[in-house]
């Protein structure tokens, strides 16, 4: 039965449409394959905090019964006296065999095996320490799902360059609290190494396949966007005339009231234009590759303006935007319901990153023309966020002015 499960898992790795789900479902099989108590996968990543940039491992999935490991982090730093954690030792270079010309080379370990974790200095425990062994095998491959993966088009071949980026994961297993906590056998070590190699190859092929599909999809989107840009230019004059007609109706209002009502008319027009882009915005949510930096800023501003939490956009361990697994999943029907029902005059208690001054900073320096060249959807998002920010500023200022305390219960 175990052999059949391993064969099925190997086939699934080569044909999956969702590598993360396939890996998560296979961890119990890998655990049984090596005679381990637990199996988990960590991602090596660079993060920034108040102390600066640091390297860490984040555990992103675990076998059944070990869910508490997911989201935990472990330093991957290299100190003056060597790696700051046992697992970081996987990336310490060692002397390797000479190359063909007799020059010395450097290699990194194929695995790390700690026979008794209780006797190993520097071991990190996320639960009660127990006797047992620990095994870590690197999963290194070229990633093709990152912001810069889609390169320039070759003028001669007209092929789009596919730009790889090194990705480093770790397959981890332990026998703590299982079968006397014995060390892994040599056979188990070799099987784990083979699985790590298999996973690396499958992951790279999976991402390359998705990138190729993404390039084809974005090429079609670019062609469609060029047509939409032409239509947008034609419709802009009519839309501006309609806007001026609506603004003219407010001419006799008192100046303070007029300023708010004028801005609300502009926001309403921007809302209509944004809702008209529903299909294009929904399409953005299907992209596997993170949008360019400027486009990402306006999308973040849109979500924050509508009350989305950072947790709905960011990876829990690295605190970075997780486009593939989190942020892109917010561009569905719920988003458009929020846009439709957005109340610019609502009293809010925003989190710091949702405050109007921070949203204004987030989109500062961007321009609608450049965003439209990427997608008219980004341009529509920018114009709505800009109008919402401008309107909200007037609302807040007027509310504060009317308050004896100068706050008016409004803190954004």
Q: What is the pLDDT of residue 227?
A: 84
- Is 256 found in the same domain as 203? no
Please say if the pLDDT value at position 9 is more than 90. yes
What residues have CB less than 8 Å from 49, skipping those under 6 apart? 319
Q: What is the pLDDT of residue 80?
A: 67
Whole-angstrom CA distances from 60 to 24, 68, 313 are 9, 11, 16
The fraction of the chain above a pLDDT of 70, given in percent, is 94
Mean pLDDT of 117-142: 94
Mean per-residue pLDDT of the chain = 90
- Is 143 found in the same domain as 13? yes
- Is 288 found in the same domain as 209? no
Last residue of one domain, picked from the residues 155, 189, 213: 213
Answer whether residue 169 is part of any domain: yes
- Cα–Cα distance measured from residue 211 to residue 149, given in angstroms and rounded to the nearest whole number: 8
What's the pTM?
A: 0.83
- Cα–Cα distance measured from residue 261 to residue 284, given in angstroms and rounded to the nearest whole number: 32
Q: Quick one: CA dihedral 77, 79, 85, 91, positive or negative?
A: positive
Do residues 29 and 4 make contact, with C-beta atoms less than 8 angstroms apart? no
Please say if the pLDDT value at position 368 is more than 70. yes
Answer whether residue 160 is part of any domain: yes
- Cα–Cα distance measured from residue 135 to residue 177, given in angstroms and rounded to the nearest whole number: 15
Answer whether residue 204 is part of any domain: yes
- Is 265 found in the same domain as 204? no
- How many domains is the chain partitioned into structurally? 2
Do residues 330 and 303 make contact, with C-beta atoms less than 8 angstroms apart? yes
Of 79-83, 256-260, 393-397, the range with the highest mean pLDDT is: 393-397
Last residue of one domain, picked from the residues 213, 233, 267: 213
Question: Which CATH number fits the domain that encloses residue 86?
Answer: 3.30.450.40
Query: What tokens does 66 get?
Result: 């070990």
- Cα–Cα distance measured from residue 291 to residue 328, given in angstroms and rounded to the nearest whole number: 10
- Is 294 found in the same domain as 188? no
Answer whether residue 48 is part of any domain: yes
What residues have CB less than 8 Å from 311, skipping those under 6 apart? none
- Is 253 found in the same domain as 187? no
- Is 316 found in the same domain as 169? no
Determine phi and psi for 107, rounding to 5 degrees: -135, 160
- Cα–Cα distance measured from residue 273 to residue 236, given in angstroms and rounded to the nearest whole number: 11
Whole-angstrom CA distances from 183 to 11, 29, 196, 231, 255 are 29, 19, 19, 68, 80
Determine phi and psi for 152, rounding to 5 degrees: -70, 165
Answer whether residue 350 is part of any domain: yes
Range of the domain at 277: 249-402
Mean pLDDT of 236-263: 73
> Look-up: residue for tokens 């998560």?
24
Q: What is the pLDDT of residue 239?
A: 67
Answer whether residue 90 is part of any domain: yes
- Is 106 found in the same domain as 196? yes
Determine phi and psi for 284, rounding to 5 degrees: -60, -40
- Is 255 found in the same domain as 209? no
Answer whether residue 296 is part of any domain: yes
Query: What tokens does 344 get?
Result: 């610019």
CB count, 10 Å around CB of 45? 20
Instruction: Tell me which of 93 and 402 has the higher pLDDT.
Output: 93
- Is 174 found in the same domain as 56? yes
Beta bridge partners of 138: 170
Mean pLDDT of 24-32: 94
Last residue of one domain, picked from the residues 195, 213, 231: 213
Of 153-157, 328-332, 401-405, the range with the highest mean pLDDT is: 328-332
Q: What is the pLDDT of residue 237?
A: 67
- Cα–Cα distance measured from residue 123 to residue 114, given in angstroms and rounded to the nearest whole number: 9
- Is 61 found in the same domain as 113? yes
> Look-up: residue for tokens 């929020």?
338
- Is 189 found in the same domain as 268? no
Query: What tokens does 258 get?
Result: 């007029």
SS in 3 state form for 330-359? HCCHHHHHHHHCCCCCCCCCCCHHHCHHHH
Answer whether residue 255 is part of any domain: yes
């Amino acid at each position: 039965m175990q052999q059949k499960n391993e064969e099925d898992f190997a086939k699934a790795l080569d044909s999956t449409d969702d590598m993360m789900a396939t890996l998560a479902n296979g961890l119990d099989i890998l655990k049984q394959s090596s005679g381990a108590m637990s199996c988990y996968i960590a991602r090596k990543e660079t993060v920034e905090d108040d102390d600066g940039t640091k390297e860490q491992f984040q555990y992103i999935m675990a076998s059944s019964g070990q869910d508490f490991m997911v989201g935990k982090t472990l330093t991957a730093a290299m100190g003056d006296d060597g790696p700051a954690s046992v697992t970081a030792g996987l990336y310490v270079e060692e002397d390797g065999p000479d190359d063909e010309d007799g020059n010395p080379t450097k290699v990194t370990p194929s695995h790390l095996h700690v026979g008794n974790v209780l006797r190993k200095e520097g071991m990190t425990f996320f639960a009660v320490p127990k006797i047992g062994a620990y095994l870590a095998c690197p999963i290194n491959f070229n990633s093709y799902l990152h912001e810069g993966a889609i390169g320039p088009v070759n003028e001669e071949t007209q092929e789009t360059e596919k730009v790889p980026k090194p990705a480093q994961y770790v397959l981890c297993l332990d026998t703590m609290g299982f079968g006397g906590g014995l060390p892994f056998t040599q056979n188990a070590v070799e099987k784990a190494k083979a699985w790590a190699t298999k996973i690396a190859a499958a992951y790279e092929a999976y991402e390359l396949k998705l990138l190729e599909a993404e390039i084809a999809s974005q090429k079609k989107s670019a062609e469609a966007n060029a047509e939409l840009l032409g239509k947008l230019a034609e419709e802009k004059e009519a839309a501006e005339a309609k806007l001026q007609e609506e603004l003219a109706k407010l001419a006799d209002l008192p100046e303070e009231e007029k300023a708010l009502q004028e801005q609300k008319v502009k926001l309403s027009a921007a809302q209509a234009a944004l809702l008209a882009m529903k299909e294009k915005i929904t399409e953005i949510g299907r992209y596997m590759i993170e949008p360019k930096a400027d486009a990402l800023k306006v999308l973040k501003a849109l979500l924050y303006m509508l009350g989305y939490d950072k947790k709905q956009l960011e990876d829990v361990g690295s605190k970075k935007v997780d486009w593939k697994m989190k942020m892109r999943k917010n561009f569905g029907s719920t988003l458009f319901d929020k846009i439709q029902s957005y109340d610019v005059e609502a009293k809010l208690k925003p989190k710091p990153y949702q405050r109007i001054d921070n949203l204004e900073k987030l989109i500062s320096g961007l321009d609608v023309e450049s965003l439209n060249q990427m997608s008219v959807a980004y341009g529509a998002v920018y114009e709505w966020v800009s109008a919402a920010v401008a309107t909200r500023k007037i609302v807040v200022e007027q509310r504060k002015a009317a308050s004896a305390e100068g706050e008016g219960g409004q803190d954004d």
